[in-house]
Each structure stands twice: as C-alpha cells, then as structure tokens.
Amino acid sequence: MTHQNTSRGAKLPARYAAFVMPLFLSIVMTFVVSAISTLKSLGFNGSFLTTWPVAWGLSWLVAFPTLLLVLPIVRWLVGLVVEAPGRR
C-alpha cells in the first residue's frame, strides 16, 4: 500500500530550475564563505555575530546575479571538457 504525501504542496514548473538552482547555490556558498572569511578576520566574538549577517547579505547580493550571468558560460565550458552522456 502506498501513501502519497499531499502536505508538501505544489512544485514549481521545471522551467524555473535555471533560477532556483543558482538561488540555492548562492545562498549556501555565500553563507559558508562569508562565515569563514568573517571568522578569520574577527574571530568568534560579539563582533562576528553582528558583522557576519551583513557580510553574508552583501555577498549574496553579488553572488546570485553573478551566477545567473556566469552559469551559461560555465555549462558551455564544461561541455567542452566533459563527454556528453551516451557518446562512448
């Protein structure tokens, strides 16, 4: 017997993947990189806890649009060096 979980709600159409993937990627990457950079500069203290969210927000504001612009170029470059599936 299978049970379908209907509490998850509707998913976005596949055409939005080109925006959702860079959104999640930019959030995670800037979260980690800004934390490491801020921690190295300030150490773990009260300053870190007030400075890091601002650093993260600013880095995300740059990273997300950059990813949207750069990902097509990166995909093209990957296509130049990685064999397409099923071509062996």
pLDDT level of residue 88 (50, 70, 90 thresholds): low
Q: What is the pLDDT of residues 1-39, one digit of tens each?
A: 545 555 678 999 999 999 999 999 999 999 999 999 999
* Percentage of residues of the chain with pLDDT beyond 90: 82
Each residue's pLDDT tens digit, 34-83: 999 999 999 999 999 999 999 999 999 999 999 999 999 999 999 999 99
Domains in the chain: boundaries:
15-81
**Residue 84 banded pLDDT, cuts 50, 70, 90:** confident
List, as one string, the DSSP characters of 28-67. Answer: HHHHHHHHHHHHHHH-SSHHHHHHHHHHHHHHHHHHHHHH
